[in-house]
Chains A and B, each alone.
Chain A
Amino acid sequence: MDKQPHMFHHALRIRQEACIGCSRCMRVCPTEALRVTGGKATLHPGLCVDCGECFNVCPSRAVVVEDDDITQIFNYKHRILLIPAIFFAQFQEKLTLEEINSVLYEIGFTELCTVEQGVDLLVDEINKYIDTFEGSKPVISSFCPAVIRLIQVRFPVFADQILRLLPPLEVTAQYYRGDYARHGVPLDDVGIFYVTPCAAKIAAIKAPVGGYVSPINGVINMTQLYNKVFLAYKQKRNDSEHCSLVHSSLSKTGIQWATTGGEASHIRGRSLAIDSMPNVIDFLERLENEEITGVDYLELRACDMSCCGGILVQSNRFLVKERLDQLAKDLPDKHPLDESFRETCSGCIPMDKIEPRAMVKYHSDINIALERMEESRRLRRLLPNIDCGACGAPSCEALADDIVCGRASLDNCLLIHAHEADPATIEQIWGKKRFNK
């Protein structure tokens, strides 16, 4: 792989010692960022968008999420945990909110806060933003970091259309950081942690876009925390009272924000919700061709069923969604801290424009790029076009591109070898016109 001029922080890593080179990850990667070489999968950092499709399909747990160790919370006197509503919904009705919170305090957190508290404020801000927005529409939600990265890499033309307001997580993080500051607590004493349902959120916190630095100090893996809570609960029933602060209440809008349609249903005008990576890519392609027009707002989420289907969510995504809907029924329309959020956070929501990071595919000189593209097309006529992946590239087209860029050779195509050795058998399966089209 070519060395890219810029390296990007990624929250996904392939453990070489565990990788069995099965190529499953390579086949599902929406940006073709993976290749198999020397029996191991390798990741092209410039193309990866941290969506986690590879994590989902890896049979040997070689793809790992780069989270922070939970013990580092003890570096801080005040240990605040920001919890997305999804986390609670995983436990179904087996554990009450009080029981979950009680275990979380026991683990060592001093204050628990739901992430979606700032949502009521954000809804109004987004609607105001869209009403006064003068650029091309649709405005695209800034919620899902994997989608933002996908746009930067594959759809740079839409980078300008990404909503320049922070997602709820960052609004809530700012609120609590500000709250401690107002109470005169030294900032070094305050550790803000987030329990994440996916890898993309980790990348977004460690390497934020839009000229922003996140006040979040560490990110905890949701799978690990789920297991810890469940285990602790099973080992001993804890009914001791805790007098620490719990801001676990949410509004109806807030609790459903991370589900599909949670945003779009509150935005004025024509607003659509699209989930799962293949659907998002297909929709953006059509939007780019101007086959789809007249949309004001797009809620795009990388995971199927949005965050309910996050790669670190333990429970079934349909059950998580069901539970969130159930819980929403008894919730108020506005969050109790809504007024306080409006007073303190309205000014800190805007962020800068997000810059595209389009990748050079063939060459930055268009003359060389054209030559290589033509050569790649010629090669594709020799290749079988069945995208078997046995060459270590995700498709015949990807192999042809790798060859013209000097990263692979035509010898990598095993089917060509097999055809040379025994044309009859290969043609019996794949027909006579498979090679040399």
Chain B
Amino acid sequence: MAGTASSQVKRALKQLGVDASVIKRVVVALYEAEVNIVAHAYKGIITADIDPERVFLRLVDEGPGIEDIEKAMTPGFSTASQEVREMGFGAGMGLPNISRNADVLNIHSIPGKGTTLEITILIK
């Protein structure tokens, strides 16, 4: 279910006493990325690595991949159907939102195979 990973990471960061604004960025970025996996991919693995300087999130999925990453990064660009949009998803803000909250964002994608997202958010 989308939101499970971000809840767990949020919990750990709160327990570590990480600044609330940093936690918020991590949660938003991770939640958006989780939703992407649930919405598009067949399966995915999420790992979160926390050290005193930064949070490093790696999301590897097997799925359709992204045809044109630059286009996908454009706010408002979406491949979602009208139906999905009516449910309140697919507004084309997923990747732009992740990018806005990340200090470093790497996207590797092979169309037809899958996508790997690497998100780094600095703690201090």
Chain A residues with Cβ under 8 A from B12's Cβ?
373
B110 to chain A, nearest CB (A): 30
Task: Give the distance in Å from the alpha carbon of A362 to the alpha carbon of B18 in the complex.
Answer: 12
Task: Give the distance in Å from the alpha carbon of A156 to the alpha carbon of B23 in the complex.
Answer: 12
Q: Is A93 an interface residue (CB 8 A)?
A: no
Residue of B nearest to A374 (CB): B50
Q: Is B87 an interface residue (CB 8 A)?
A: no
Q: Is A366 an interface residue (CB 8 A)?
A: yes
Task: Give the distance in Å from the alpha carbon of A289 to the alpha carbon of B123 in the complex.
Answer: 18
Task: Give the distance in Å from the alpha carbon of A361 to the alpha carbon of B11 in the complex.
Answer: 11
- Chain A: interface residue total (CB-CB under 8 A): 17
Q: Is A231 an interface residue (CB 8 A)?
A: no
Do A358 and B17 form a contact, CB below 8 Å, given A157-B24, A288-B27, A366-B123?
yes
Q: Is B95 an interface residue (CB 8 A)?
A: no
Do A290 and B27 form a contact, CB below 8 Å, given A361-B15, A370-B16, A373-B16?
yes
Chain B residues with Cβ under 8 A from A361's Cβ?
15-17
Residue of A nearest to B20 (CB): A157
Complex contact A289–B27 (CB within 8 A): yes
Complex contact B15–A373 (CB within 8 A): yes
Greatest chain A CB density within 10 A among B16, B31, B123 is at: B16
Q: Is B7 an interface residue (CB 8 A)?
A: yes
Do A285 and B7 form a contact, CB below 8 Å, given A156-B20, A157-B23, A290-B31?
yes
Complex contact B3–A369 (CB within 8 A): no
Task: Give the distance in Å from the alpha carbon of A170 to the alpha carbon of B89 in the complex.
Answer: 44
Q: Is B6 an interface residue (CB 8 A)?
A: yes
> Considering the complex, which residues of chain B in the window 63-119 have a beta carbon less than 8 Å from any beta carbon of chain A?
none
Q: Is B33 an interface residue (CB 8 A)?
A: no
Q: Is A367 an interface residue (CB 8 A)?
A: yes
Chain B residues with Cβ under 8 A from A373's Cβ?
12, 15-16
Q: Is A428 an interface residue (CB 8 A)?
A: no
> Considering the complex, which residues of chain B in the window 1-40 have a beta carbon less than 8 Å from any beta carbon of chain A?
3, 6-7, 10, 12, 15-18, 20, 23-24, 27-28, 31
Complex contact A370–B17 (CB within 8 A): no
B→A interface (CB under 8 Å): 3, 6-7, 10, 12, 15-18, 20, 23-24, 27-28, 31, 50-52, 123
What are 25 contact pairs spanning A and B, CB under 8 A? A157-B20, A157-B23, A157-B24, A285-B7, A288-B24, A288-B27, A289-B3, A289-B6, A289-B7, A289-B10, A289-B27, A290-B24, A290-B31, A361-B16, A361-B17, A362-B15, A362-B16, A364-B17, A366-B16, A366-B52, A366-B123, A367-B52, A370-B51, A370-B52, A373-B15
A→B interface (CB under 8 Å): 156-157, 285, 288-291, 358, 360-362, 364, 366-367, 369-370, 373
